[in-house]
Chains A and B, each alone.
Chain A
Amino acid sequence: DAGVIQSPRHEVTEMGQEVTLRCKPISGHDYLFWYRQTMMRGLELLIYFNNNVPIDDSGMPEDRFSAKMPNASFSTLKIQPSEPRDSAVYFCASGPQGGQGAWGYTFGSGTRLTVV
């Protein structure tokens, strides 16, 4: 099992550019989560999906952020246009469906985004 795979590991972009972060969850996992980690705010849930359907996007900071999950094996988080305050580490995590097993899900290694 390769775990949750995120790409790229590092991204440096200029303010105003579009940024796309990618995530491949663990095969068979039905939940997918996008978190953001900053020094100031810690770990924040941005959005999560169940069976490819967005369930709660209340954590998405503003309309510049969007996330999609076109199929069970792929999700993207897009920021357009990017701003310096978006600089953070973005984590994707996935978990199996239902019951206690769904908790304590598996995190990817993260994408460190720097917007200059």
Chain B
Amino acid sequence: AQSVTQPDIHITVSEGASLELRCNYSYGATPYLFWYVQSPGQGLQLLLKYFSGDTLVQGIKGFEAEFKRSQSSFNLRKPSVHWSDAAEYFCAGPGAGSYQLTFGKGTKLSVIP
């Protein structure tokens, strides 16, 4: 089945350290891919999206993601994490119908001072 997978349930990083959150996809063709962030008690906010073209995508809040076809991955990165980045991050890709999204299980990010 077409899907996205986030292998890490929880990641802890120190403030100022670099961050990489993993997302793997299983789609036959090049999919549309997305990263969302959910702060506690809040809805999901779109960080960035990939449709085609340049494989390095810039998003909001200093995040970027790189689409790697050879690895079926779309990992999210940030060079220097801030305490306010502590949240849950979701990778998403197309679902079964038009404009439907299927989400990964999420990766919870904790940031220690």
Is B45 positioned at the interface, with any CB of A under 8 Å from its CB? yes
Tell me the B residues contacting A by CB distance below 8 Å: 32, 34, 36, 41-46, 49, 51, 90, 95-106
> In the bound complex, what is the Cα–Cα distance between A110 and B104 (angstroms)?
18
Tell me the A residues contacting B by CB distance below 8 Å: 4, 31, 33, 42-43, 45, 48, 50, 55-56, 91, 93, 95, 100, 102-110
- From B36, B43, B49, B95, A45 is in contact (CB under 8 Å) with B95
Contact call A45/B100, Cβ cutoff below 8 A: yes
Contact call A109/B43, Cβ cutoff below 8 A: yes
Chain A binding surface, main DSSP class: strand
> In the bound complex, what is the Cα–Cα distance between A2 and B20 (angstroms)?
32
> In the bound complex, what is the Cα–Cα distance between A91 and B92 (angstroms)?
16
Contact call B99/A105, Cβ cutoff below 8 A: yes
A residues less than 8 Å from B95 (CB atoms)? 45
Closest residue on chain A to residue B102 by CB atoms: A45
Q: How near does chain A come to B94, taking the closest CB pair, in angstroms?
A: 8
> In the bound complex, what is the Cα–Cα distance between A107 and B51 (angstroms)?
20
CB<8 Å pairs between A and B, sample of 30: A4-B43, A42-B103, A42-B105, A45-B100, A45-B102, A48-B99, A50-B98, A55-B98, A56-B96, A91-B44, A93-B43, A100-B32, A100-B51, A102-B99, A103-B32, A103-B34, A103-B49, A103-B99, A103-B101, A104-B34, A104-B49, A105-B99, A106-B46, A107-B44, A107-B45, A108-B43, A109-B42, A109-B43, A110-B42, A110-B43
Q: How near does chain B come to A96, taking the closest CB pair, in angstroms?
A: 10
> In the bound complex, what is the Cα–Cα distance between A50 and B97 (angstroms)?
12
